Structure 1
Amino acid sequence: MSKRVNRRIVLAARPQGDPRPGDFEVVERPVPVPARGQVLLRNVLVSLDPYNRIIMGNANSDQPALDIGDLVFGFTIAVVEASEHPAFAVGDHVASTSGWQEYAVSDGSDLRPVDPRSAPLTANLGILGMTGLTAWVGLTRIVTPKPGGTLVVTAAAGAVGSAATQIGKLRGLRVVGVAGGPEKSRHLLEDLGVDAAVDHRAPDFPEQLARAVPDGIDTVYENVGAPMVAALLPHLNPGARLAVGGVMAQITRTGGFEGPDRLPDLMRAVLYKDLTVRGFSVPDHVDAYPEFLAEVAPAVASGEARYAEHVVEGLETIPFAFQDMFHGRVTGKMIARIG
C-alpha cells in the first residue's frame, strides 16, 4: 500500500493578487498507511473555495497563512479505503477536511458520514456542505428575517450566494439576487427561482436595483464587500439587518481601495436607520449542522431547493481552474472530481 503514489497540491508561491497556476505545485508522496484508530481515505471530490485563497497569504484577511510547501487545505468527499477505526468501514463515504490530495489518513475526528443514496455526492460539498451551512447560519443565527420581507443576496450566482437564495425562499422571503452579467441574471431567475435579479455590471444597475426592491430591503446576505453595500444603502429599510458572509471583491487586494470613502455614509445609515451589521465565522457554528441538514436536506431531495455546480475533472486541473473563481467565470459551487 505504501508504494502507491499520492498526488498532493502544495503552495509553491504566495499569490500576488489573483491566484495563478504557478502558485501551486503537484508533488508525489507514498500513500500513507493508517495506524490503529485511523482510516485511509481516497478523495473523490475536492471543494474549491474563496477561503483557499485567503489562507495562501497576501490576502486582505487576518487568517493565518499556509507556509510555502504546505498542502492546500480543502473540504473533500472521500471513500474509506482501509480502516483501523471501529466507526468506519471500507467503502463508507465521508466528508473530510483532508485537502487537495488524492489520499489521506484521519483519526475520524474531522469526518462526517454521507449517504450517496440521499443526494448526489457533490451536493455534500455545496448546498449540503459547509457552503450551505454558511448561508444557513447567516440567515438563522446571525440575522433572523421575518417571512414576507425582502432579502437581497449579493454574489447570488456563487456557491454561498445561491444557497442563501434557496434558504431565503424556503423561509418565505421575497428574494432578490445580485450577480454580474445577463447570463447569471437569467440563471438566478430561471434556474434558482429568485423573485428578481439585478445585473450589477449593467449600465442601468441603479435603476434595475430600484425596480427590484420597490418596498425597500429588509435583509441583506452580503458576499461582495464595500462596493455593493454602498449601492444598497439608499434602499435599506429602518431596522434592516446585514449578515456579512464574505468580501469576495476584496480578498485579493493587498493595498488601499480606490473610489470615494463611503464609510461615513454607512455609519450614518447604521445610526439613523437602526441597522444591524454582523459578520461571522462559520467554524464557530458547526454545532448547527444537524439542525441545518434537517431543514435543507429534505428540500434538496424533493427539488424544492435548487443548486448549481461547476465541476472540473482531475486533480491536475485545480491550479488552472481555481483562478476562474476570481474572474466571474464560475456559477454555483466549484468542485474538482479527482476519483
Structure 2
Amino acid sequence: MSNTTSTQILLASRPTGWPTEQNFQFRTSELPELAPGQVRVRNEFISVDPYMRGRMNDTRSYVAPYQIGEQITGGAVGRVTESMSDTLPVGTLVTHQHGWSDTVQDTAERFTAVPEIPGVPSSLRLHMMGMTGLTAWVGLTVIAGMKEGDTVFISGAAGAVGTAAGQIARLLGAKRVIGSAGSAEKVALLTEKYGYDAAFNYKDGDVAGQLASLAPEGIDVFFDNVGGEHLEAALENFNDGGRAALCGAISSYNTTEAAPGPRNMANLITRGLKLQGFTLANYLQHSGEFAERMGQWFTDGQIAYDETIVDGIENTVHAFIAMMQGENTGKMLVRI
C-alpha cells in the first residue's frame, strides 16, 4: 500500500433550507498504489460555489444531483506529487473537478495541466482566470451580447462572478457599470477597487428605486447572480431591446417554498426584452478567447481581485455556508 491517505467530504443528508454541518460527513481512507497512467495530486485550493447548493437537492437540473454518501465534487487546483503518466510529471500544476478532498488520485485524463504565471497565485485558476472569469465573459459577450456604450447592471457584484463581470464590462467599453452588494463596505469596494461607476446596498430596500436613481437613462444589459427582487428591478429599468444573462438565483437557493416570480413580466413584450439563462458547460468553446484576453489584461495590470480564504479541509463546510450567507468578498476558497 502507498501509506498515503485522502480525506473527503461527503453528502450525508439533503439540506432542508439552509445547509448545516450535519448534512456532511468526513471520510479518511488510504489510497492504493498508483496504476499505470494514474497520478496523485495534493490539492492547494478547493472551491465552494453557490451552484453546489442546488446539487444537494434531489431535483432536475442541468447536472445530476449529489448522491447521499458520495463526495462533493467541484473545482480544485493542486500539484502532482506522484505520477505514473508521461503527460503529467511530478510538480505539474493541475485543475480538476474532484472537489472536496485534500489528496486525489485518478487517471491523468481527469486533470488539466495549467501554466504557471510569475506573480499569479494558483488560486486564481479557480476564479478570475478560471471558470468564474469565463462565466462572466460568456454571460456578457455571448449571452447578453454586450456592446460598447451599453449601461450594465450586475447583481451580486461583490462575489466571485460579479467582480469579474464588472471589470470585463468596463474593459469592453460599457458606458456605465452598476452593481448591487450586501453591505456598505462591499458597495465601497465596487467603486473604489473594481471600477464600478455606481453601486448600492440591496439590504437598504427598494432595489428597483435604487437602480433607477443610479441609472436614470435605463439599463441595456443585466447580468444576474441573484434573481428575485433584482430580476424584477432590472425588468422595471430596462431600455427597449435590453438583454439579460441569467447566471444564478442565490436569493432562492435556501428557501423551502417556491419564490414568487417578478410581477412585471409583461415588460418582456412591451420593451422587446431578451432573458436567457445559461450554464457554462455548454459554452466551453469560448475558453481560448477568454484566456487570451484575460491573460493580456492581467499582464497589463488591469485586473483586480479579492479572495476570502479559509484554511484547512476540516473547515470546508463552514466556508461553504459562510459563502452562501454572503460573508465572502470575491472568491471563497479553502486552502489545503
TM-score range, shorter chain: over 0.9
Partner Cα distance (1:161, 1:29) in 2: 38
Deviation at 1:110, TM superposition (A): 3.4
Q: Please give the residue correspondences for 1:216-255 in structure 2 after superposition, counting only pairs within 5 Å.
A: 216-255=218-257
- Normalising by structure 1, we get a TM-score of 0.93
Preserved contact between residue 235 and residue 268 of structure 2 (Cα < 8 Å): no
Q: Please give the residue correspondences for 1:64-143 in structure 2 after superposition, counting only pairs within 5 Å.
A: 64-118=64-118, 119-143=120-144
The answer to whether the aligner puts 1:191 opposite 2:190 as a matched pair is no
Q: Please give the residue correspondences for 1:282-301 in structure 2 after superposition, counting only pairs within 5 Å.
A: 282-301=280-299
SS at match of 2:108: coil
Correspondence for 2:149: 148
Residues 1:62 and 1:288: Cα distance change in structure 2 (over 3 Å):
closer
Partner Cα distance (1:146, 1:323) in 2: 36
Correspondence for 1:48: 48
Give the fraction of aligned pairs with identical amino acids, expressed as a percent.
Answer: 35
Q: Which moved more, 1:168-177 or 1:100-109?
A: 100-109
In structure 1, the gaps of 5 or more residues are none
Please report the RMSD computed on the Cα atoms of aligned residues, expressed in angstroms: 1.8
Correspondence for 2:319: 321
Correspondence for 1:180: 182
Preserved contact between residue 48 and residue 319 of structure 2 (Cα < 8 Å): no
Partner Cα distance (1:62, 1:93) in 2: 29
Deviation at 1:208, TM superposition (A): 3.0
Correspondence for 1:279: 277
SS at match of 1:145: coil
SS at match of 2:282: helix
Query: What is the CA deviation profile of residues 194-218 of structure 1, one whole-angstrom value per residue up to 9, with x for unaligned ones?
Result: 1111111114654432221121100
- Normalising by structure 2, we get a TM-score of 0.94
Letter in 1 for 2:232: A
Deviation at 1:82, TM superposition (A): 1.4
Letter in 2 for 1:129: G
Partner Cα distance (1:162, 1:109) in 2: 31
SS at match of 1:25: strand
Residues 1:124 and 1:62: Cα distance change in structure 2 (over 3 Å):
closer
Correspondence for 1:16: 16
Correspondence for 1:213: 215
Residues 1:252 and 1:140: Cα distance change in structure 2 (over 3 Å):
same
In structure 2, the gaps of 5 or more residues are none
Letter in 1 for 2:320: F
Partner Cα distance (1:54, 1:32) in 2: 33
Preserved contact between residue 60 and residue 252 of structure 1 (Cα < 8 Å): no
Letter in 1 for 2:249: V
Partner Cα distance (2:271, 2:93) in 1: 48
Which consecutive segments of 4 or more residues in structure 1 shift more than 6 A? none
Deviation at 1:181, TM superposition (A): 1.6
Q: How many residues are matched?
A: 334
Q: Please give the residue correspondences for 1:20-39 in structure 2 after superposition, counting only pairs within 5 Å.
A: 20-39=20-39
Deviation at 1:148, TM superposition (A): 1.4
Deviation at 1:247, TM superposition (A): 0.8
Letter in 1 for 2:31: V
Residues 1:63 and 1:95: Cα distance change in structure 2 (over 3 Å):
closer
Preserved contact between residue 101 and residue 313 of structure 2 (Cα < 8 Å): yes
Higher relative contact order (CA 8 A, sep 6+): 1
